[in-house]
Every structure is written in structure tokens, then in C-alpha cells.
């Protein structure tokens, strides 16, 4: 039990960001990790040129790192946006342009989890209109993910940091997961359970784990307060991950925390080097 009993991956969109994107997989490998995840790396475009996709694949391959999670295009993230798929107009169009390309890239590197951030509420737009658009786009994304043998992830964020994002509780995200699965019949929509976001929302984390572990496709962690490394806040992350394992979750745990004032390579002292490489 405990941290050595988990399968960790490093989120290269929040850790090692002091380095250019193509240098981050090697940096993660040098720190002892063999698995990584990414937000959509090209925030300006849903359809980067083939050379950029190939360069990222080569960087992952050369480092010996497995990409285990990838976001679909999500707008300006980091930045003011929290996804594009429920935002009418050009952002929804950009999300749709990205769906097959992101799925194909995931397939090319053996990534089997694609995260679709829902998007913020838009002033002057009926929330029901946004939700209907979201379901249309999530159905398209689920089908594309299924085509390449991947799952589709739906994530809860936290209201203090994302006040316009509508999925700010575990039940809210689970409701969307269930609607997507009902619409497609595929069953490949899953919950992205982020213990930091849920704790920021004041949810009973042990109860969420008991209720939704079976519908969880990916887990992310950071401590609270501060969104730092485990041990920098007050969350009992080691115990909570044990509870997830006891509830039947055997998937990846993404390290999605801020390194603080130190280089990212020094932000893993809470985890023994022997527990970093995913078996």
C-alpha cells in the first residue's frame, strides 16, 4: 500500500514547463518516470502541421516515455479558457476540427485516454443550448476515441479557480458521462477524478471514491492548499489513493501539481525513485 503501489505519470503541461515542450519527455525520464500526460500542446491551433506532431512523437519515443493521457483542443489553457466543446461558434468548430487529428495522434503513440474539457459558460447564451452542443461534440469525441481504442474523459474542475465552468462537482461530471454513454452505447466515457479540484469544491473525497471509482478512467493529484506536490498541503493523498485502489481503480495517477519555486526535477522528493517508473 502507499505511493509505491501506484502507477504515476507526470503532466508535462504543468511540470517541466521551464523547458521547451520537446525537451520535457527526456527531463521526465531523467527524473525516473516512464509515463507522461499532456494538455493539448498547441493552444493556438487545433490542427498543427504534421511536422510538429511528428516531432512530439519522436521526443516521446526517444525518451522512452509513454503518453497515457492527452487533452483534446481546449482553447487558451493555461489561460482564461476551460475547454471549447460547449462554446458556440468558432471554438466549437475548432474542437470538431481537432477530434480526429487528436485521436489519430493518440493512436500513433499508444495513448488510450483523451480528455475533453467542457468549456466555460458564455454570457448571453442559454446554458441548455451549450449543454446540447456539448453532448453533440462529446458524442463525436467518444466515437473517435473508440475508433482508436481509447476512453473519453470528462473532468470536474473547481469553482474558486474556474467560476464559469459548469462541472464543479463529481455528480455533475458523472451526469455528463452517463449521458454520453447513453447516446453512443459505447460505454467508453469515463470520469476524470482530480482529487485537488474535488477538495477545492469541498467534496467528501472518500465518498466520491466509493461512489464513482467504477466509472473513473483517470486520476490526477495535487495537494491543497497551493496545488503543490504531495506533502505541501493537508490532503491525505496517500490514504486516498489507497482507497481508490481498494475500490477497484487500477489506472494511472497523473501528477498535475505546481513545482513551486524550485526546478521541476526537484519536486518529486516525496516519491521514492524506485516508485517512479511505471511497471
In sequence order, the 6+-apart residues with CB closer than 8 A to the CB of 52 are 42
**Chain mean position to CA 125:** 27
Rg (CA), the chain: 17
Per the listing, cell 459505447 goes with 186
In sequence order, the 6+-apart residues with CB closer than 8 A to the CB of 246 are none
**Chain mean position to CA 53:** 19
Q: Could you give the CA distance from residue 198 to residue 160 in angstroms, rounded to a whole number?
A: 11
Is position 52 annotated as part of the catalytic site?
no
- Name the active-site residue from 37, 91, 203, 256: 256
Is position 97 annotated as part of the catalytic site?
no
- Name the active-site residue from 155, 161, 243, 266: 155
Q: Could you give the CA distance from residue 224 to residue 233 in angstroms, rounded to a whole number?
A: 5
Q: Active-site positions?
A: 155, 256
Amino acid at each position: 500500500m502507499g505511493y509505491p503501489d501506484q502507477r504515476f505519470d507526470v503532466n508535462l503541461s504543468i511540470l517541466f514547463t521551464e523547458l521547451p515542450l520537446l525537451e520535457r519527455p527526456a527531463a521526465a525520464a531523467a527524473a525516473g518516470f516512464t509515463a507522461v500526460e499532456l494538455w493539448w500542446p498547441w493552444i493556438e491551433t487545433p490542427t498543427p502541421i504534421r511536422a510538429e506532431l511528428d516531432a512530439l512523437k519522436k521526443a516521446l519515443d526517444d525518451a522512452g516515455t509513454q503518453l497515457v493521457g492527452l487533452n483534446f483542443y481546449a482553447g487558451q489553457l493555461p489561460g482564461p479558457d476551460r475547454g471549447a466543446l460547449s462554446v458556440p461558434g468558432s471554438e466549437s468548430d475548432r474542437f470538431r476540427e481537432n477530434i480526429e487529428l487528436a485521436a489519430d495522434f493518440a493512436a500513433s503513440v499508444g495513448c488510450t485516454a483523451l480528455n475533453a474539457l467542457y468549456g466555460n459558460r458564455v454570457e448571453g447564451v442559454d446554458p441548455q443550448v451549450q449543454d446540447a452542443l456539448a453532448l453533440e461534440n462529446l458524442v463525436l469525441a467518444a466515437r473517435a476515441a473508440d475508433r482508436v481504442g481509447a476512453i473519453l474523459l470528462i473532468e470536474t474542475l473547481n469553482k474558486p479557480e474556474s467560476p464559469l465552468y459548469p462541472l464543479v462537482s463529481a455528480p455533475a461530471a458523472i451526469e455528463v458521462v452517463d449521458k454520453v454513454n447513453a447516446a453512443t452505447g459505447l460505454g467508453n466515457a469515463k470520469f476524470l477524478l482530480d482529487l485537488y479540484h474535488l477538495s477545492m469544491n469541498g467534496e467528501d473525497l472518500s465518498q466520491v471514491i466509493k461512489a464513482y471509482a467504477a466509472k473513473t478512467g483517470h486520476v490526477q493529484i495535487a495537494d491543497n492548499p497551493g496545488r503543490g506536490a504531495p506533502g505541501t498541503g493537508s490532503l491525505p493523498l496517500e490514504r486516498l489513493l489507497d482507497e481508490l485502489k481498494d475500490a477497484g481503480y487500477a489506472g494511472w495517477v497523473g501528477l498535475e501539481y505546481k513545482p513551486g519555486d524550485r526546478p521541476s526535477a526537484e519536486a518529486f522528493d516525496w516519491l521514492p525513485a524506485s516508485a517512479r517508473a511505471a511497471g
